[in-house]
């Protein structure tokens, strides 16, 4: 398992440099860390998935003494590790920017921001991997595009349909504290992540190479 995760980071060593640069850029532009973290996560997870598909590596990996379950699990664990890496990195940047450039109000990013960033990465992973391992890289690109556009369109439609009810929704949400909402969000994302993990294992175990 250690080797499999190491492999993803070795494969993406250039990508990691690029991501570090991007997070720095986000900080220079004084964006909230949540964007930096989730964007870096999308980049990492989608590249970690697609390079496997592009090279013939499924054949090699499955000829080695490892189970298909471990191959998939390493991808999900890799996403979590990357999330932690991105959080550390963006905290580091904020510290640097605060003390060296005097740019932010506080030395550390807000925990909420970091947590939401992490949740975004997990959410993206949960959607991306089952699709990738079911349909392959080529179709996944198309499908994720459709999903992205779909979310925007659906959002617009919902906004239109719920126009009159927005205040009542706001009222409903304001009953809860931010922590409560975040906690609920974390639990739902966590469950979704586990479910997706199990699903992808099932998909991969049934696959022919």
Binding site for another protein (CB under 8 A): 2-4, 6-7, 10-11, 51, 55-57, 59-60, 62-67, 206-209
Smallest gap from residue 195 Cβ to another protein (A) = 24
In angstroms, the CA 68 to CA 71 distance is 5
Beta carbon nearer to another protein, 15 or 199: 15
Beta carbon nearer to another protein, 147 or 199: 199
Smallest gap from residue 197 Cβ to another protein (A) = 20
Beta carbon nearer to another protein, 10 or 157: 10
DSSP output for 139-152: HHHHHHHHHHHHHH
Handedness of CA 52, 7, 38, 197 (dihedral sign): positive
Query: Contact, 5 vs 71, CB < 8 A?
Result: no
Smallest gap from residue 116 Cβ to another protein (A) = 33
In angstroms, the CA 58 to CA 104 distance is 46
Query: Contact, 49 vs 139, CB < 8 A?
Result: no
Beta carbon nearer to another protein, 51 or 98: 51
Smallest gap from residue 82 Cβ to another protein (A) = 18
């Amino acid at each position: 398992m250690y080797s499999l995760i190491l492999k993803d980071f070795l494969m993406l060593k250039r990508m990691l440099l690029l991501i570090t640069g991007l997070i720095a850029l986000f900080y220079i532009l004084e964006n909230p860390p949540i964007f930096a973290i989730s964007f870096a996560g999308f980049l990492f997870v989608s590249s970690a998935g697609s390079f496997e598909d592009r090279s013939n590596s499924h054949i090699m990996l499955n000829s080695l003494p490892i189970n298909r379950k471990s191959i998939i699990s390493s991808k999900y664990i890799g996403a979590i590790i990357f999330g932690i890496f991105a959080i550390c990195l963006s905290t580091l940047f904020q510290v640097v920017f605060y003390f060296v450039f005097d740019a932010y109000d506080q030395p550390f990013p807000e925990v909420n921001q970091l947590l939401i960033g992490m949740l975004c990465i997990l959410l993206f992973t949960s959607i991306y991997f089952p699709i990738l391992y079911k349909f392959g890289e080529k179709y996944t690109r198309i499908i994720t595009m459709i999903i992205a556009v779909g979310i925007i369109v659906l959002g617009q439609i919902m906004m239109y349909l719920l126009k009159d009810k927005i205040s009542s929704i706001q009222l409903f949400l304001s009953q809860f504290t931010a922590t409560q909402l975040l906690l609920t969000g974390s639990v739902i994302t966590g469950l979704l992540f586990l479910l997706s993990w199990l699903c992808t294992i099932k998909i991969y175990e049934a696959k022919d190479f």
